[in-house]
Amino acid sequence: MTRRGEFDLIDGLFAPLARGDRAGLALVDDAALLDAAPGHRIVATTDALVEGVHFRAGDAPDLIGRKLLRVNLSDLAAMGAEPYVYLLTLVLPRARGDAWLERFAGGLARDQREFGIHLAGGDTVSTRGVLVLSLTAFGIVPDGAALRRSGAADGEDVWVSGTVGDSALALCAMRDGLPGLDAADTAFLRDRYLLPRPRVALGVALRGVASACVDVSDGLVADLGHICRSSGVGAVVRSADVPLSPPARAAVDADARRLSTVLGGGDDYELLFCAPSERRDDIEALARGRGVAVTRIGRTRPGDGVVVLDDEDGELSLISSGYTHF
């Protein structure tokens, strides 16, 4: 399988992704030069995807590239930052030739246009192991306006964007199948897993409105727990209020034990945030203006930890409280 040399790879596939912003210096220098406007701060985040852990060897290269970028954009969204530039590191097995890399770069180019971000540099190395992809994204936020996990107070509303549990159920479907779902439902869930929807516009709009925010990557219960620990509060969530897509609802209706997967699974990349109750109308209006559904699912309270209530207000026992690598 053919693959061009390192510098031909940079010049042919990745230098075009750096055009449109001067930070990358056309990828001809050893580092990027980042600007920060007066009164603003740079937000930095990084994520890695590993073949066999975060994606399968046969997954479409363009979708892998788009997911790599989008999971980082979701972290920027959770802090209310506008995308700026990113750095890319590729650890490439010899078997990954030009055709795969061209499709991968094409996926990045597509999402660069959608989200207004550009490549500013990175590194490429070869390996005898599996494919590893790492991306570091930078965003810009006005000084003092960044959303944090640590600002929630007692008695606030807990909100989540979009729907929860689709990606975790998709993994179940791909590994073991999900009896009770038809092909269209399974395809919907798989698309949600392969192509997250980072809520960048919503995150920016929540500056000055939300008191605390995180993206749902480890799982709804686990990520709300991150807010609770950082803010020194507890939270209660009613399971019936957690928004589910029609396929996810069908999966849970077919087997109630799957609710644990929905609440404890990750990879949703929706925004989970807290806000004072008097901002409800503002939140619903700003979400509508950006074409994103938001749902109130609970409240913060004194104490610590997250309690999930079932339909009868009994406490729901969770099999899983979130994903961890170690």
**Closest to 248 (Cα-Cα) out of 296, 193, 203, 320:** 193
Quote the crossing angle between the two packed helices 98-115 and 61-78, to the nearest 10°. Answer: 30
Q: CA-to-CA distance for 238 and 148, rounded, in angstroms?
A: 24
Q: What pTM was estimated for this model as a whole? A: 0.90
**Residue-level pLDDT at 199:** 98
Phi then psi for residue 170, to 5 deg, are -60, -40
**Residue-level pLDDT at 9:** 63
**Residue-level pLDDT at 323:** 47
Task: Give 10-residue mean pLDDT values along the chain (326 residues).
Answer: 60 72 66 83 93 88 97 97 96 89 96 96 92 96 95 97 96 86 94 95 98 96 95 95 97 92 94 98 98 98 90 56 45
3-state secondary structure the chain: CCCCCHHHHHHHHHHHHHCCCHHHHHHCCCCCCCCCCCCEEEEEEEEEEEECCCECCCCCHHHHHHHHHHHHHHHHHHCCCEEEEEEEEEEEECCCCHHHHHHHHHHHHHHHHHHCCEEEEEEEEEECCCCEEEEEEEEEEECCCCCCCCCCCCCCEEEEECCCCHHHHHHHHHHCCCCCCCHHHHHHHHHHHHCCCCCHHHHHHCCCCCCEEEECCCCHHHHHHHHHHHHCCEEEEEHHHCCCCHHHHHHHHHCCCHHHHHHHCCCCCCEEEEECHHHHHHHHHHHHHCCCCEEEEEEEECCCEEEEECCCCCECCCCCCCCCCC
**Residue-level pLDDT at 325:** 42
**Residue-level pLDDT at 324:** 45
Contact 234, 290 (CB under 8 A): no
**Residue-level pLDDT at 311:** 66
Q: CA-to-CA distance for 4 and 166, rounded, in angstroms?
A: 38
Q: Spelled out in words, what is the top-level CATH class assigned to the domain 157-309?
A: alpha beta
Among 3.30.1330.10, 1.10.510.10, 3.30.70.260, 3.40.1500.10, name the CATH number for the domain at 6-142: 3.30.1330.10
Locate the domains of the chain by residue range: 6-142, 157-309
Residues forming beta bridges with residue 55, ordered by sequence position: 51
Contact 24, 14 (CB under 8 A): no
Residues forming beta bridges with residue 128, ordered by sequence position: none
CA angle 234, 240, 242 (to 5 degrees): 65
Q: CA-to-CA distance for 67 and 96, rounded, in angstroms?
A: 18
**Closest to 297 (Cα-Cα) out of 188, 148, 164:** 164
Contact 105, 13 (CB under 8 A): yes
Contact 295, 194 (CB under 8 A): no
